Amino acid sequence: MKQRGSATWKFWGLMMGLAALAVLAFGNTGFAAEQKVFQWKFSTWAASGNKITTPSQKWWADEVEKRSKGRIKIRMYYVDELNGPKEMMQALKGGLADVVCHVPFYAAGETPIWLMTYLPFTNLAREDWNLLVINRLGMESKPFIDETNKFDGVYAGCYISSGAYNLMGKKPVRNINDLKGLRIRLAPDLGAVLKNFGVSPMAVPATEFYTALDSGVIDMVAHTPLTLHAYKIDEISKYLILGMDMQIGPAPYFINKNSWNALPDDLKKVIESVRDDCPKFYWDYLHNPDLHASAAKMIKEKKIQVLHFPKEDREKLIAKAEPEYEAWAKRCPDYNAAKQALADHKRIAAEVMAKYPNGAPGITRKDINTGK
């Protein structure tokens, strides 16, 4: 009887020991999986030394690494190091890059729906409003989601190229009549609008602004005032025209779907938190008084003349923009999807302005233009 009892206890003791070892083994495996370090490649069209566009992308990468406590490590690959500016979506789809910063303007035929965010005069008055809208389009609007899925991508945030586009370069534009005969670097749909007023639209990558202006290929660049020095346009520009605010230049971040799916849920939430903070960061970054003081100093030192485009002439430009929305929709492979994208943008924009009249949650800086 004693032998049987002793054997029974030994049996159960052995089983409990094996169970404990199994729990320990599986627990350690799960822990190891949770602590895996993901090495990601982030490909951007921007140059490493660009002090206006690159910091926003570097912030995204740094925040992901910081908030993940080093479990996602990101190496930045700048212009042409991994792929060209026009090849971002192919690099994404093929897995060459884990993350890309894509400029829809550079590959309009690949992402025509995302090009909708470049349509002239669809931009809102505040940069953070625009990013709040784009975040929701990337996450909620079926046409945008479907197009991203074509390239096996996941939307992960966005930055805008330093505010609304105005003109800078070698020619004075004091009113709408001065546009006639000018060769201006423009996105396609904005080019179609200004063509009505005698402009010859030119497609030039941002990295070639200086060369194109210096050689006389173009007379003016449509971009943001803060980029004057970043692209060395200040070295050969004589005029800066403000008050046109014709469009914005969003550059969304996409993550390769395989890279995304490999992440545990807690790291996906890290990415989502950084995505959601893009509007807040970008507003505060763009409204840094030191940034604007530096730009003003540069304009003064280079003796660049600042001109203000008349409001009534801007209204004339806007009047010619509406037909281009329909023309853009007709150029898209799926007309109905394009119209839905426009409708989604209009609806979401109204909702964002109503919900956040004072800007994105968490912003800390005042509007550099109004002081409010």
What DSSP assignment string belongs to 109-158?
Answer: TT-TTGGGGGSTT---SSHHHHHHHHHHHHHH-HHHHHHHHHTTEEEEEE
Same domain for 230 and 314? Answer: yes
Same domain for 239 and 288? Answer: no
Q: Map tokens 């404990």 to a residue.
A: 20
Same domain for 146 and 192? Answer: no
Is residue 182, in this structure, part of any structural domain at all?
yes
What is the rounded average pLDDT of the residues 197-218?
Answer: 91
Same domain for 172 and 118? Answer: no
What pLDDT, in 10s, does the model give residues 20-44?
A: 555 444 444 444 445 899 999 999 9
Task: Work out the angle at residue 225's Cα, subtended by the Cα atoms of residues 322 and 344, and round it to the nearest 5 degrees.
Answer: 35
3-class DSSP assignment, residue 220: strand
Angle, helix 322-331 to helix 335-355, in steps of 10 degrees: 130
Same domain for 222 and 105? Answer: no
Other C-beta atoms lying within 10 Å of the C-beta of residue 313: 18
Same domain for 138 and 283? Answer: yes
- Least confident range from 45-54, 94-103, 347-356: namely 45-54
Is residue 20, in this structure, part of any structural domain at all?
no
Q: Map tokens 């899925």 to a residue.
A: 149
What pLDDT, in 10s, does the model give residues 221-239?
A: 998 887 777 778 889 999 9
Same domain for 232 and 341? Answer: no
Range of the domain at 340: 37-161+250-295+332-355
Is residue 31, in this structure, part of any structural domain at all?
no
Is residue 10, in this structure, part of any structural domain at all?
no
The answer to whether 228 and 240 are in contact (CB under 8 A) is: yes
What pLDDT, in 10s, does the model give residues 237-259?
A: 999 999 999 999 899 999 999 99
Same domain for 257 and 232? Answer: no
Same domain for 63 and 170? Answer: no
Same domain for 141 and 254? Answer: yes
Q: Residue 235 is encoded by which pair of tokens?
A: 């070295």
Is residue 47, in this structure, part of any structural domain at all?
yes
Q: Which residues contact 353 (CB under 8 A, 6 or more apart)?
A: 124, 129
- Least confident range from 31-35, 62-66, 126-130, 246-250: namely 31-35
Residue 172: pLDDT band with limits 50, 70, 90: very high
| pTM for this prediction | 0.84
